[in-house]
Chains A and B, each alone.
Chain A
Amino acid sequence: MKSLESILAHHPFFEGLEAEYLALITGCASNVRFEAGQFIYRQDEEANMFYIIREGKVALEVCPPGKQPITVQTVSDGEILGWAWLVPPYHWQFDAQAVELTRAIVLDGRCLRTKCGEDHTLGYELLSRLLPVIGQTMEATRLQLLDIYGNND
């Protein structure tokens, strides 16, 4: 069985990270499992974690008052779930619910935030990895907003 450090070392998100930092991050990590239908976090809760999905699928949902929840994005194998842990006020903006049995590695965002404050090189390393994730999410969101398959395409 692979160790957490080995799994993290081989994940593209942590590719090229110095061993010292990888060991530090591994210290903030643990394995988690969510059953289908289980909420991983809820809107407005404190965002003190982030997740690397090893296997499964998670829906990010918004629930307009009096209406059924709408899924705005799904995150699956190998992808990163959550970046609100790094951006004040550190609150989730959506509900995250496992669509199917999901195994993930959870990282303690509060612990990492503190360590990033103490060591700006680590902060830079993490931010430079997270920014492309945020950028691609924004790019995808803009495309969704365009409604390119609608009648006006």
Chain B
Amino acid sequence: MGPLMQSPMTPWPYRIQKIIRETHDTFSLDVAPKDGSAPVTFQPGQFNMLYAFGVGEVPISISGPKPGSQGMIHTIRDVGTVTHALHRLKKDQIVGLRGPFGSAWPIEESKGQDIIIMAGGIGLAPLRSALYALLEQRDQFGEIVLLYGARKPEDLLFTKEFEVWRGKYGVQVKLTVDTADREWHGNVGVVNTLVQRATFDPMNTVAMICGPEVMMRFAVLELKRREVPEEQIFMTMERNMKCAVGFCGHCQFGPVFICKDGPVFRYDRVKQFFGVREI
């Protein structure tokens, strides 16, 4: 029985084939099925439940690999008990994996449009797989803009790839950090301030946003100031997930479940619940 045949509640053993240290607290696990079968296919924006045996399970976005490469990359920030246990694992050790789950970024639907990818902190992880998909068919899109903010320069993810995206694919890569010393010659300020510095045709633009919810709220505000239509703004929502298949209700967000109906939502479909304190 392969990964696709099993119950969605049963973790499948995956072997860690590579560990990538991204920043001081963030790492990536590149995993493949332990039995040597092909990894399940995924769409950019989807997530897996990763199980650190004996500790617990967490939802982790799929951040790669590049098209044509093997394995599945999960970029994880070491912030809690389970992610800390995952951080302690070594190459060739086994994790449990369920998934992929959830909705995807609208890559096909965005053909012919300009694209804004807007990420804060570890929010670049699920957007990197979207970026890979966009760049694989670069000529199908107009401007591609990456606006990315982090706390400090040393917290920026995937920095080695920025020059490739800029130079080889003509992506407008604009970075900012919340605070920096003089070693940093880039922008300082919150990520939404980058919107006004980007070149794109607002009416013909699809925006994909991922980051802390507060950041996304202001990102939407800034995009609307530039007159990007609400129905062309997509974002990933995050809530405490347990089952990942809409059984348990932990991730209910108004009338939807983040795990099953999301995590990628079109803004105009969730805006009435977005930023509501009680939800």
Chain A interface (Cβ within 8 Å of chain B)?
57, 59-61, 68-74, 76-78, 99-100, 136, 139-140, 143-144, 146-151, 153
Contact = CB atoms under 8 A, between A and B. Distances in A.
A30 B230 CA distance: 41
Interface string B182-224: 1011111110110011000000000000011011001000000
Contacts of A59: 182, 188
Nearest to B149: A149
B188 A74 contact: yes
The contact size tier of chain B is 20 to 34
B150 interface: yes
Contact of A149 (B178, B182, B187, B193): B178
A140 B215 CA distance: 10
Interface of B: 79, 120-121, 149-151, 155, 176, 178-182, 184-190, 192-193, 196-197, 211-212, 214-215, 218
B182 A68 contact: yes
A74 B151 contact: no
A70 B182 CA distance: 7
A63 to B, nearest CB: 10
Contact of B121 (A71, A143, A149): A149
10 contacts: A61-B182, A78-B197, A140-B189, A140-B190, A144-B179, A144-B189, A144-B190, A147-B178, A148-B120, A148-B121
Nearest to B184: A71
Contacts of A153: 121, 212
Contacts of A73: 188-189
